[in-house]
Each structure stands twice: as C-alpha cells, then as structure tokens.
C-alpha cells in the first residue's frame, strides 16, 4: 500500500518534494543545486539506510508506483529520468521493493520517452518506446528512423525485446515505411550521401526488430537502387548487431533466416 504526500507539484524544474511510504520503504524525491542549474535526487530508504539512490536533471515518479507491475509479488517504484538537453537522454527504472531491492532498466538511454501499457491483459504492462540507435546515421535527427520497440518483463531477466510477440502493433510501421519509400526520393529526407537510405530504413527496421530478417533483406534488395547495396546491408547488419533492442539470438547474416 502506498501512503503518499505530495508537498509541492512539478513545475518544470521548479522546487518539489515528494515522499512516499511503500511497505517498509521510504521514497524521497527532492531538488538540489543552484537556482540556475537545479537537479533532482531520489532516495529509497529502509530503516533509515539508503538502499537505492539516483540523481539527474529531472526525475519523475510514475503513477504506476506502488503496484506490482512485474508480477513478482512485490510493489514497484517506477522512475522516469531525463538528463536535459535537446537530444538524449531518457531512461526508465523499475525498482522491485521486495525483501531485497532489485533495479531493472526498462529500456536503454534514449531520446524516446516511452510508456507502460498492458498489452496482454495480465496486469504486467509492457514498456513501449522507440529505437533511436540509427539517429543521425544517414540523415538529420528529425528524419531518422525510430521504429517502435516493445519491451516485456521476464522473471529473472528483466525487460527483453518482444516485438516479435506483437506483430499486429509493429508491422504496420513497415507498411508506413513502404509509403515513405514510395513518396520520398533520393536525398528527400536529407540523406548525407544523396541516397534514400533513411527512407529504406523506415521500411526494413521494423522487420528486423520483429525477427523478419529475410523479409527485411528482400525489401532492401527490391527498393534500394544504388550500387552500394551490399555495403549498405553490411552496415545495417553491423549496426543492428550491437542494437540492444534487436533479439540477438538469431543469425542476421543468413538471408534465409
């Protein structure tokens, strides 16, 4: 049960103080630093001892706090952070307040602000965000592909990529990506090299993230008309091989996958 006292509301980066009691844990959120550059500090305390601490330019305790959103049987603290600046970074922590405090990051540090939504109706909400790892890779930020990503909590593992389990939500992005490819010609999305690489990525990345690698390769071969096709594919493979949102258990170099 959560007993919360909101002492001062969020006013941008204005003064705030929030205290919550969640079971035996006390959660304290406060603002520190000079007026021109304040920052937020959050502490989780047990029996007067700090058991978890975080600070950033901006912190927000999500209303889901106090619920068991992982299905592990303990109340959770859900914290959204923002580092400040025009781009990057937001991160999301789910803190399991059981006999031992366990901390899970729902997604990587990102430009994308996500949300929790129960897609399976099991009271364990998924975390929906986007994958911005290709931002600036081939074109300006505003035109860069940022496909939807669905992260699903798995006991003992934390949050793992699950696009392949929700194809009805993610594959329509490839359909919209096809519209982008058909509408925008070479350089129309500001591609640095005058190709239509960013347009093509709007089509193929949702397929990649849904484990439809063969379809992604076929789409690229069908629509990309420049002589560096093979190199472009290898660049995508290299890049996405380090993408934490890509399910790394499948072989992406195998066109027949």
Mean pLDDT by 10 residues, the chain (257 residues): 32 62 94 80 94 93 95 95 78 94 89 91 94 92 93 90 89 93 96 96 93 93 97 91 67 34
CA dist 245 and 18 (Å) reads: 33
Query: What is the 8-class DSSP label of residue 253?
Result: T
- Crossing angle for the helix pair 213-223 and 197-209, nearest 10 degrees? 160
For residue 54, the model assigns a pLDDT of 94
For residue 15, the model assigns a pLDDT of 55
What's 8-46 look like in SS3?
ECCCCCCCCEEEEEECCEEEEEEEECCCCCCEEEEEEEE
Model's pTM, two decimal places?
0.84
Both tokens assigned to 133: 């790892």
For residue 3, the model assigns a pLDDT of 35
128 neighbors 150 (Cβ within 8 angstroms): yes
Helices (H) and strands (E) counted in the chain, each on its own, are: 4, 13
For residue 241, the model assigns a pLDDT of 77
- 195's CB contacts (< 8 A; 6+ apart) are 138, 186, 187, 224, 226, 228
């Amino acid at each position: 049960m959560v007993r919360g006292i909101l002492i001062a509301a969020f006013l941008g980066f204005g003064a705030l103080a929030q205290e919550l009691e969640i079971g035996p844990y006390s959660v304290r959120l406060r603002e520190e630093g000079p007026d021109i550059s304040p920052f937020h500090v959050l502490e989780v305390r047990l029996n007067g001892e700090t058991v978890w601490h975080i600070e950033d330019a901006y912190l927000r305790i999500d209303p889901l706090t106090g619920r068991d959103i992982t299905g592990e049987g303990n109340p959770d603290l859900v914290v959204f952070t923002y580092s400040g600046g025009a781009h990057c970074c937001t991160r999301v922590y789910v803190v399991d307040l059981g006999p031992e405090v366990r901390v899970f990051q729902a997604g990587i540090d990102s430009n994308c602000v996500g949300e929790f939504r129960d897609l399976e109706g099991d009271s364990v909400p998924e975390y929906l965000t986007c994958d911005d790892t290709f931002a600036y890779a081939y074109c300006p930020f505003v035109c860069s592909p940022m496909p939807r990503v669905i992260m699903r909590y798995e006991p003992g593992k934390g949050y793992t990529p699950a696009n392949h389990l929700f194809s009805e939500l993610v594959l329509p992005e490839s359909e919209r990506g096809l519209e982008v490819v058909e509408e925008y010609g070479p350089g129309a999305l500001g591609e640095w090299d005058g190709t239509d690489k960013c347009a093509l990525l709007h089509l193929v990345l949702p397929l990649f993230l849904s484990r439809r690698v063969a379809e992604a390769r076929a789409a690229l071969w069908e629509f990309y008309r420049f002589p560096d096709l093979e190199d472009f594919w290898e660049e995508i493979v290299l890049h996405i091989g380090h993408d934490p949102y890509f399910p790394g258990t499948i072989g992406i170099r195998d066109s027949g996958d």
